[in-house]
């Protein structure tokens, strides 16, 4: 989450209010330094959680998968795709890596499969297992009326089946 930019907006009001006291030239210097400090603040806070999303299509997929899981000690997800140009079915390897690991993977691929297709994205936030947990959300029951409510009534709970209720997620 960016904090520097909203902070900049609030502080600009203070800097503008100081115009009669400090003068226009000093106001410009102050605004420029304030802007830079907010950019540095945002960059610093975001760098703690920075990852790279890597998508790889390679002729040596088992070796690439083994390199990521064993050498880099990161998980992979195999996606199935269909080449729009070639018309061939293919597997794609998806991994979330630290920037240094992405560079190591590029070097590995450069040496072992120079014809590999690699896409690397900046991932600013990743939620899920081994990453940040998703925030828990409260549930609020849906209100139904008339025949709609009768047709949507959950089945009675049986010994082997949990009852399914109707709920709507509400953000706190």
Q: Is 64 exposed, middle or buried (0-12, 13-18, 19+ CB in 10 A)?
A: buried
* pLDDT grade for 146, boundaries at 50, 70 and 90: low
The pLDDT of residue 165 is: 46
Range in 3-7, 37-41, 88-92 the model is least confident about: 3-7
Q: Is it the case that residue 157 has pLDDT exceeding 60? A: no
Q: Which residues contact 67 (CB under 8 A, 6 or more apart)?
A: 105, 108
Note the pLDDT of residue 46: 59
**Looking at 1-15, 22-36, 92-106, which range is the least confident one?**
1-15
Question: Which of 31-35, 47-51, 97-101, 119-123 is predicted least confidently?
Answer: 47-51
Q: Is the pTM of this model over 0.85?
A: no
> pLDDT tens digit string along 81-132?
998 998 999 999 999 998 899 999 999 999 999 999 999 998 877 766 666 6
Q: Distance from CA of residue 125 to its chain's centroid? A: 3
Comparing 67 with 160, the larger pLDDT belongs to 67
Beta-bridged to residue 77, according to DSSP, are 94
Residue 4 has pLDDT above 60, yes or no: yes
Cβ atoms 89, 96 nearer than 8 A: no
Give the C-alpha separation, 108 to 7, whole Å: 42
User: Which of 3, 7, 29 has its CA nearest to residue 18?
Assistant: 29
The better pLDDT of the pair 39, 97 is held by: 97
């Amino acid at each position: 989450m960016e904090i520097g930019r909203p902070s900049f907006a609030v502080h600009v009001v203070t800097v503008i209010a100081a115009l009669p006291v400090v003068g226009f030239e000093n106001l410009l210097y102050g605004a420029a330094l304030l802007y830079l400090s907010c950019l540095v603040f945002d960059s610093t806070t975001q760098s703690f959680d920075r990852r790279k999303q890597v998508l790889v299509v390679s002729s040596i997929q088992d070796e690439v998968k083994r390199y990521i899981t064993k050498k880099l000690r990161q998980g992979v997800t195999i996606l199935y795709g269909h080449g729009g140009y070639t018309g061939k079915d293919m597997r794609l390897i998806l991994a979330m890596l630290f920037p240094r690991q992405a560079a190591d993977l590029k070097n590995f691929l450069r040496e072992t499969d120079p014809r590999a297709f690699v896409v690397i994205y900046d991932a600013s936030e990743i939620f899920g297992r081994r990453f940040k947990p998703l925030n828990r959300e409260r549930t609020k029951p849906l209100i139904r009326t008339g025949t709609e409510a009768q047709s949507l009534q959950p089945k009675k709970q049986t010994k082997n089946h949990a009852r399914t209720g109707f709920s709507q997620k509400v953000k706190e």
